[in-house]
Amino acid sequence: MIIATVKVNHISIMRSIFYLLDKPGGSFSAVEQELPEPGPGEMLVRTRRVSVCQSDVVIQRVGLPRIKSWPAVILHEVSATVEAVGAGVTKFAPGDLIGIGCDIPCGDRACLYCGDKGTGDWTCCPNTQATGHEFPGFARTHAILPDWFVDLGPIMKFPVGFDPDHACQLEPLACCLEGMTRVNNCITNRVVVLIGAGSQSTYALQCAQAMGARKIILVNRGAERLERVLRDFGDERVVGIRWDEQVVENVFTACQPFNEPHFVMMNVPAREGYELSVKLLGYGSVLDAHAGVKGAGGKPRITHEVDLNNDIHYKLQCLQATHGSSMHGIRLAHELLTGGKLPKLGLMTNVTERFRPSQILEAIQRAADGDSLKVIIDFDHP
């Protein structure tokens, strides 16, 4: 273990190793920093696991306008153990295993969205921030969380003995569940279509199973990942469809005895995904525009003509979107995880998808592969 607490002039100094990404397209280097003891309301946490998000792949390759200064501390899907709490912290205690969301309050305690009396819709705040973006991420062994983060932020405690591999997936699961529950009554006993077979679709598949969907149709271009997901997560309700020229027709056939899906979740970060998604909408369909399309050139415009009368009013269609998560999704994710409702979650990470902190670049490269689902970096083994 490299980490040690040493007493210097009666002040405890914690050494934390930060894995800094030098620039877009760059590489990581380990830098040691000293952390003070947590002040009043603050909390010192030790990183246990970090899972890699597709946005980390984009950030590592081309950067992101939200990251204003380099080198940057990225990675935001994290589980941690509370090491020490400052005066006045009562919600958490040393030894607690926690999962932490990515979208966090802005830090202004009077904010209408994020403050003590706010709505909690902090992703709508004009000063919204997220870990691994404006706020440092968890490519570091230890972090001190400020008082507003500890009080108001998306931090959930897990029971003793809970698997830190699963706790670090609180955040991506929360994002998925925000999309699936923003509109009521479109999953349980309904037909769900998932475009893409990456990690968000694989979470959605497991959540739809837990929520009692009638049928779940998974659409994907690549055979390899589709086969993996069907093999490991499929049951009698799950149908896989290759994304070829007949995809629209094949999805509608698979929806039978219904004519069209009740819920379409667009999880492919590409224009073609949106072009396909709107072709699948029918009577009463809800579309969750879940994956954003962005790159070095910014966010492209993707247009679609909407008939407010025939489609929205008479067909009861709903076009909605979610990105990120609030306490709503975080609590739902925590409920499913701690309630044992996602028994196959561990299958999303196989031996080729486990890395150590000294291998962050390799981990991110693995997450970009066409067959990978959830890459986890294990900070218990430096």
- Residue 59 is a binding residue for Zn ion (CB under 5 A): no
The least CB distance from residue 318 to Zn ion, in Å, is 25
Query: The tokens of 256 are what?
Result: 């039978």
Query: Nearest approach, Cβ of 127 to Zn ion (angstroms)?
Result: 5
Choose the stretch contacting Zn ion; rule: CB under 5 A; options: 99-107, 207-215, 241-249, 274-282. 99-107
Residue pair 169/374 in contact (Cβ under 8 Å)? The answer is: yes
- Write down the residue that tokens 């490299």 correspond to: 2
Closest contact distance (angstroms) between CB of 161 and Zn ion is 26
Q: Is the dihedral angle over the CA atoms 272, 273, 278, 280 positive or is it negative?
A: positive
Instruction: Select 114 or 376, whichever has its Cβ closest to Zn ion.
Output: 114
Q: How far is C-alpha 141 from the chain's CA centre?
A: 20
Rounded to whole angstroms, how far apart are CA atoms 312 and 304? 13
DSSP assignment string, 12-52:
EEEEEEEEEE-STT--EEEEEEEE----TT-EEEEEEEEEP
Which residues, listed in sequence order, are joined to residue 14 by a DSSP beta bridge?
Answer: 5, 35
What are the angstrom distances between the C-alpha of 199 and each of 54, 196, 212? Answer: 9, 9, 20
106 lies in the binding site for Zn ion (CB under 5 A): yes
Binding residues for Zn ion restricted to 29-58, rule: CB under 5 A: 53
Closest approach of Zn ion to the CB of residue 160, in Å: 27
Which listed residue (18, 19, 28, 113) binds Zn ion by CB under 5 A? 113
Q: Which of 21, 104, 111, 327 binds Zn ion (CB under 5 A)?
A: 111
| For Zn ion, the closer CB: 37 or 121 | 121
Residue 9 CB, shortest distance to Zn ion, in Å, is: 38
- # binding residues, Zn ion (CB under 5 A): 6
- In the list 85, 125, 186, 337, the residue contacting Zn ion (rule: CB under 5 A) is 125
Q: Rule CB under 5 A: which residues touch Zn ion? A: 53, 106, 111, 113-114, 125
